[in-house]
Amino acid sequence: MSPALLSTGAPEAATDRTVVGEHLSLPLFHTLSGVLAGHPYVKVVVDRAEGDWHVLDAAAHPFHVNYIATRVLGMELAELDAGLDAFNASVYADPDRRFLLGVLSLHSGEDADGRERPFLVLETTEADTMHGALLEFFHGFVRDRVDARLPLLLKPANHVQEEELAAVSEQSVPRVLGHELFGTRTRTALNTGEAVGRLRRYATVEEYEAAAGGLGWSDIVAMPCLPDDVQRVAGFVNTAPITPLSHTNVLASGWGIPNAIVQDLDQLAERHGLDGAWVRYRVREDDITLERLDEDPGLRAPAWHQQRIRLEPPLLEDAPVLSLHRLRTADRDRYGTKAANLGELHHVLDSRTADLTAFYGRPRPPRENLRPHLAARLGLSTPSAAELRAAASSFVAGTVEAPEGVALPFSLQHRFLTSSPALQQGIGKLKMALELDALDVLDALCLQLQHLIRHAPMPDSVAGEITRALPDQLAAGERLVVRSSSNAEDLPGFSAAGVYDSVTTVRGTDELLDAVRQVWASLVSPRSVRLRHQVGISLDDTYMGVIVQEYVPAALGGVLVTCNPTRREDFRNVYLNCSPGSPEQVVEGTVLPQQYLYNTVEGGGRTVALGSWPEGLSAGTRAQLADLSLTGRLLQSHFGAPEVDAPLDIEWLLTDQGDFRLVQIRPYAL
């Protein structure tokens, strides 16, 4: 039987190949399919009232709800838009819903004999809350209508569906979890973009370091895992899995260069002769390609060669060492952005006067705003604007705490540097080399100056101000964490993620003073000086504040960003990485973290990858992380102002007592 093409008499009907009530063969699947995350897919709608299904032409119908409303129910788009949220609830949340919406995608794996085996995966949208019986019905209905030779697995779209399916036998509903499917992906976009350059492949960090001196802005560096101190080039290629929240991807995002996981690069390079060749490297959300170019493309130097970033002048007059809770955002010109943001966080949590609902007040066409969704998440029915603001503030204050500690101003570093003729001479030599663009001697001068800073005696007055701020902790030998807070980071076009030092195992006065000097010295590391020089940041204007925090033992720690870094238009989700223990493991890349996406509009979350661990977190812990994610989104309303869509990068930990502590909050480079 030939497929019954949907005909509505609309002008586009001639090119709409949607079928209704037909068996889905593999050739028909390919006729209707588009590509999603590198896999062919079709959208399906099961109409329970009619006992029928619709397989949508992906090119003609990108949205299930538009199709149902206009083609099945005869609504106008304006009518749908006027009540979109209510309509979405009727198809994604109503336990007795008429329509079941899903996506069928085609994948391949290996059978027990090592032969390639194609299979289909059925999943709903991420916000869908189908209960177990409905999921079982959905799978069975589709199973009866697709090619019987292809296994059909159900992929739960979120944690709620995973828990619902736990009560359904796998014989009845064969399944695959999202992180299992994600782990089989050969190519994954990390930062979208396009570049032309020479492909340089390295097997180890040692190979890269040996060749790094000969790399330039037109190279594309490929290796299993790029080092955090990778230099600025045209593009990154990772041949082993990493997280989108790695330091190298934050750099790629800030630099605007393509970055992706391409696990089959060795085969591609061998097949097409890519190693050392000029290539066009494209990273899109759903497609990653490396195309060999037959001739030198005659590239011009990139725009960042002429980029000039100007800093706000630092204030170097004497300023006191202050407790973090006494700082505000305006203090960044004395203590650095990180310290000022932590002080502002204390203020937000203590005073509860900030409006944390601004993100939800922005129009998201066709919605006027998302405040009703926020109200629902906070357990309110029809609150006033003031009630919603108060509830948001209370939720945040009840979910997270700010770290205790002190901030050292730029003026302490300035007094230290000017106290030593040897330091002043070293700084003068470095400035001269930068003015002359004498990059061949730059690294040696930086290393010499770093050595001087780490070992120069600290003036008693400077040391005294530091130690007097922490008398009880030093006397008790409590563990401290010393972090950087420079004025040359977290800037538009220059994030400096992972560039400056932190010291996390500090006890006693001597170790504290050594750690402070180490953080100061990181301001003149070869890498930090080169990166700043590339964008025109003057050494004269660059200073380092320091944060000293109390160490808090962590059961779980990590980083969240209040966006989906691989889908910039996604305003719902935040991306969260974590690992058992301290967040430093995630930040420093010593483990492959667990990765989660949490929807901060309709609610719910899903596991993207388990990283270095065999199992995911408990349902209770995942629910806590959902609250943390919503908190991050609410804080974005304050810290992302005036553009509340500007995402945040938040480092956090979950204490042994089950409380969340935010230890760093900064802009996320886009």
**pLDDT grade, residue 10 (50/70/90)?**
very low
Question: Mean per-residue pLDDT for 435-458?
Answer: 94
User: Is pLDDT of 11 > 50?
Assistant: no
User: Exposed (0-12), middle (13-18) or buried (19+): which is 588, by Cβ within 10 Å?
Assistant: middle
Residues in contact with 415: Cβ distance below 8 Å, sequence separation at least 6, in sequence order? 318, 459, 461, 462
- Is 234 a residue whose pLDDT tops 90? yes
- 651 pLDDT band (50/70/90 cuts)? very high
CB 347 within 8 Å of CB 632: no
Q: Give CA torsion, residues 185, 186, 188, 192, to 10 deg.
A: -150
Instruction: Tell whether the torsion through CA atoms of 556, 560, 565 and 567 is positive or negative.
Output: positive
Q: What is the mean pLDDT of residues 543-572?
A: 92
Q: Above 60 in pLDDT, residue 556?
A: yes
Q: Could you please state the CATH topology (level 3) that the domain comprising 409-549 is classified under.
A: Dna Ligase; domain 1 (3.30.1490)
* DSSP run (H or E) holding 546: strand 544-550
Q: What is the pLDDT of residue 588?
A: 63
User: For 633-649, what is the mean pLDDT?
Assistant: 90
pTM, rounded to two decimals? 0.90
Same fold yes or no, 345-399+553-667 and 409-549: no
Please write the tens of the pLDDT for every residue from 369-391.
999 999 999 999 999 999 999 99
Sorted by sequence, the CB contacts under 8 Å of residue 547 that are 6+ apart come out as 324, 338, 339, 342, 405, 406, 407, 408, 482, 483, 484, 485
pLDDT category, 402, cuts 50, 70, 90? Answer: very high
8 A C-beta contact, residue 66 and residue 81: no
The pLDDT-based confidence of 145 (bands split at 50, 70, 90) is: very high
Does residue 90 surpass a pLDDT of 80?
A: yes
In this structure, are residues 495 and 248 in contact, taking their beta carbons and an 8 Å threshold?
Answer: no
Beta-carbon contacts of 380 under 8 Å, excluding residues fewer than 6 positions away, are 387, 388, 391
Residue of 361, 370, 304, 454 lying closest to 84 (CA atoms): 370
Q: Which helix (H) or strand (E) holds 508?
A: helix 508-521
Residue 353 pLDDT: 87
- Sequence-ordered list of residues with C-beta below 8 angstroms from that of 74, at least 6 positions apart, any chain: none
Contact at 8 Å (CB) between 436 and 500?
no
Confidence of residue 615 (pLDDT cuts 50, 70, 90): confident
Q: How do the domains of the chain map onto residue ranges? A: 11-176, 187-295, 345-399+553-667, 409-549
Sign of the dihedral defined by the CA atoms of residues 323, 324, 326, 327, in that order: positive
Segment 544-550 mean pLDDT: 96
Q: What is the CATH number of domain 345-399+553-667?
A: 3.30.470.20
Burial of 303 (0-12, 13-18, 19+ CB in 10 A): exposed
pLDDT at 566: 84
The token pair at 414 is: 């300035």
- Say yes or no to pLDDT of 590 above 80: no
Task: Write out the two tokens for 355.
Answer: 């409006």
User: Cα 649 to the chain's mean position, in Å?
Assistant: 8
Round to whole Å and give the CA distance between 229 and 310: 23
Residues 304-315 have pLDDT tens digits of 666 678 888 899
- Confidence (pLDDT) at 567: 85
pLDDT digits (tens, 9 = 90+) for 303-353: 666 667 888 889 999 999 999 999 999 999 999 999 999 999 999 999 888
What mean pLDDT do residues 426-446 have?
Answer: 93
Does position 5 have pLDDT exceeding 60, yes or no?
A: no
Q: Distance (Å, rounded) from C-alpha 88 to C-alpha 69?
A: 11
DSSP 202-239: -SSHHHHHHHGGG--TTEEEEESS--TTPPP-SEEEES
Is 14 a residue whose pLDDT tops 70?
no
Domain with residues 187-295, CATH architecture: 3-Layer(bba) Sandwich (3.50)
The maximal CA–CA distance of the chain, rounded, in angstroms, is 91
Average pLDDT, the chain: 91
Mean pLDDT, residues 495-517 taken together: 92
From CA 235, how far away is CA 193, in angstroms rounded? 9
Residue 359 and residue 636 in contact, taking contact as beta carbons nearer than 8 Å: yes
Quick check: 623 and 148 in contact, CB under 8 A?
Answer: no
Query: Does 287 have pLDDT greater than 90?
Result: no
pLDDT in tens, 575-587: 999 998 777 666 6
**Strand, coil or helix: what is 96?**
coil
Helices (H), 287-384: 332-335, 337-351, 358-361, 371-377
pLDDT surpassing 60 at residue 9: no
| Strand, coil or helix: 480 | strand
Amino acid identity for residue 505 in this structure: T
The pLDDT tens digits for 591-612 are 789 999 999 999 999 999 998 8
Tens digit of each residue's pLDDT (9 = 90 or more) over 94-138: 999 999 999 999 998 776 677 788 999 999 988 899 999 999 999
Q: Write out pLDDT tens, residues 24-52.
A: 999 999 999 988 777 899 999 999 999 99
Name the pairing type of β-strands 235-238 and 259-262. parallel
Share of the chain above pLDDT 90, in %: 74
